[in-house]
Amino acid sequence: MALKTKGMFLVGLLIALLALVAAGCGGSDGGGAPEALPSSSCTAIEYEGDGDPDYLVVSDLPLQGASRTQTIQIANAIRYELKKANFKAGDYNIGYQSCDDATAQAGKWDSGKCSQNANAYAANDKVIGIIGTFNSGCAGIIIPVVNQAPDGGIAMVSPANTYVCLTQGGPGCDTTEPDKYYPSGTRNYARVVANDAYQGGADAEFAKSIGVKNVYILNDKEAYGLGVATNFRGAAESLGIKIAGFEAWDPKASSYEALFGKVKASGADAVFLGGLIDENGAQVIKDKVAVLGPNTGVKLLTPDGFALQGTIDDAGPASAGMYMSVAGQPIDQFTGEAKDFATNFAKDFNGGKQIDPYAIYGAQAAQVMLTAIGASDGSRADVIKQVFATKVEEGLLGSFAFSANGDPQEASGAVTAIVIYKATDKLETVKVISPNQATVDAALGK
């Protein structure tokens, strides 16, 4: 009996030790530290608070390719807000992982990587909130997966998605949009940036102000590019601008001179490019100038998919004089809390250099997420509920709430502002536009 009792004791001790080791490694169920998301996509868990994190907040952004300068600043803005909050949201300790949805091969967001990330988030029950995505196409892949995640889905707050059809229907949307993104029947996605009806409206109003009368619209065939091109078309038509043509460019083509030959024959006095610089946009710009001449003649207008320094760097002299829009306002026009953030963030995370406006949108998205988690009962479902109940008063982007669709409403300040840049050797501010509601409605097909 003594030997048997001793053996049972040793077995019990071994089981207890294995349990302790497992707890030390983290697990996605029960108590203890969270299990880290895969290192193939994400950083290690970042946490500087007391004890262990109770939950994980992740960011999902393309950290490779032309958007990297902006997305690195968004991720750092999230880190800044977590540090300021001592890695807490209410009574909960919050760890952070920065996850990459791009691949080196693609040089931009990748559909396979977005899908892989989405499934990893849904499977790890310590992931309580997602800040992202940057690209609307990736959001369209991730939202429906995490919408069906256990415990009521996972809240997503985007600092950058502008594709209208993620939240509501309209011109350019498939008949299954936006419902296909929310198979559970409950919305789990919101954004702190105005959708492309505002950008399309602002671009159309600006085009009219510089004398555009006949515009040829091109898009890159992606959801975002086709969407913003369609929104611009609706707004432009409502302002009396003629549409000379509407078609797509092939991102894999080596030359677009034949395409711009068609544009030239149409008599268009401007070209609008709906899409991303990543979709061979630099070559499109070069061939536009090669066939149609400098942008001081036949105007070149682009949305926020082109509004970055990388466009100027990649397209070279052909970019001179082109116009680029982006949701928001120039960094030097932010005031109050946002100005303080810009000053401190630049000093702590950007070597004292002027920051990109998207850093402020990233910080605002982080604040919304942390506030919602802090107000929740700790369940995924309640975090979603609290996101939609959030009302921001005099925040980084001004004041706003969220509609039932997840779009900002009752907004003032930078949320509905669209800045127009002109390309020289850098992005130079030309104008900030908050488009008329009638123009926005026209962009939405109303």
Q: Got the DSSP string for 94-136?
A: EEEEEEE-EETTTTEE-HHHHHHHHHHHHH-TTEEEEEE-SSH
Residues 9-39: tens digit of each pLDDT? 343 433 333 333 333 333 334 467 899 999 9
Q: Is the pLDDT of residue 332 over 90?
A: no
In Å, what is the CA distance from 199 to each residue of 140, 302, 419, 444? 20, 10, 9, 11
Helices H / strands E in the chain, number of each: 13, 18
pLDDT 10s digits, 425-442: 999 999 999 999 999 999
CA atoms within 13 A on the CB side of 127: 30
Beta bridge partners of 391: 401
pLDDT band at 48 (very low <50, low <70, confident <90, very high): very high
pLDDT for the residue numbered 308: 87
Write the single-letter amino acid at 128.
I
pLDDT value for 197: 95
First-to-last alpha carbon distance for the chain, in angstroms, is: 85
pLDDT of residue 3: 38
Other CB atoms within 10 A of residue 88 CB: 17
Average pLDDT over residues 58-74: 94
Contact 202, 420 (CB under 8 A): yes
Per-residue pLDDT at 221: 92
Task: Please report the pLDDT score of residue 1 as a whole number.
Answer: 35
Name the DSSP class of 432. Answer: E
- Of the CA atoms within 13 Å of residue 109, those in its CB half-sphere come to 28
Q: What pLDDT is attached to residue 412? A: 78
Instruction: For residue 398, list its beta bridge partners.
Output: 395
384 burial (CB, 10 Å; 0-12 / 13-18 / 19+) is buried
- Enter the tokens of residue 264: 């030239």
Q: Model confidence over 156-206: pLDDT tens digits?
A: 999 999 999 999 998 889 999 999 999 999 999 999 999 999 999 999 999
The whole-number pLDDT of residue 200 equals 97
CA distance 243 to 141: 32
- Centre a 10 Å sphere on the Cβ of residue 108 and count the other Cβ atoms it contains: 22
Does residue 333 have a pLDDT over 90? no
377 backbone dihedrals φ, ψ, rounded to 5°: -90, 10
Q: Which of 164, 189, 162 is nearest to 358 (CA)?
A: 162
Q: β-strand 418-423 against 427-433: which pairing, if any?
A: antiparallel
Q: Do domains 55-194+334-411 and 196-327+418-443 have the same CATH topology?
A: yes
Strand 391-395 relative to strand 55-61, pairing: unpaired
- Cβ atoms < 10 Å from Cβ of 22: 11
The CA distance from 400 to 418, in Å, is: 16
What is the second-level CATH architecture of the domain 196-327+418-443?
3-Layer(aba) Sandwich (3.40)
Whose tokens are 């053996």? That residue is 7
pLDDT tens per residue across span 199-242: 999 999 999 999 999 999 999 999 899 999 999 999 999 999 99
Tell me the longest C-alpha to C-alpha distance in the chain. 100
pLDDT value for 354: 81
Nearest Cα to Cα of residue 93 among 41, 162, 46, 39: 46
Question: Strand 323-327 and strand 418-423: pairing?
Answer: antiparallel
Q: Is the pLDDT score of 342 beyond 80?
A: yes
Q: Which of 84-93, 257-266, 319-328 has the lowest mean pLDDT?
A: 319-328
Provide φ and ψ at 302, rounded to 5°. -140, 155
The answer to whether 230 and 204 have CB atoms below 8 angstroms apart is no
pLDDT, averaged across the chain = 92
Helix, strand, or coil (residue 307): coil
3-class DSSP state of 426: coil
Which residue do the tokens 């983290």 mark? 26
pLDDT at 260 over 80: yes
Domain range list for the chain: 55-194+334-411, 196-327+418-443
Q: Quick one: pLDDT at residue 17?
A: 37
pLDDT in tens, 352-361: 888 888 999 9
**Does the domain made of 55-194+334-411 have the CATH classification 3.40.50.2300?**
yes
Return the amino acid letter for 232. Answer: F
Strand blocks (E) in 80-232: 88-89, 92-100, 102-103, 108-109, 127-132, 155-158, 189-191, 214-219
Q: What's this model's pTM, rounded to 2 decimal places? A: 0.85
pLDDT of res. 31: 63
Torsion angle (degrees, nearest 10) of CA 400, 402, 407, 408: 0
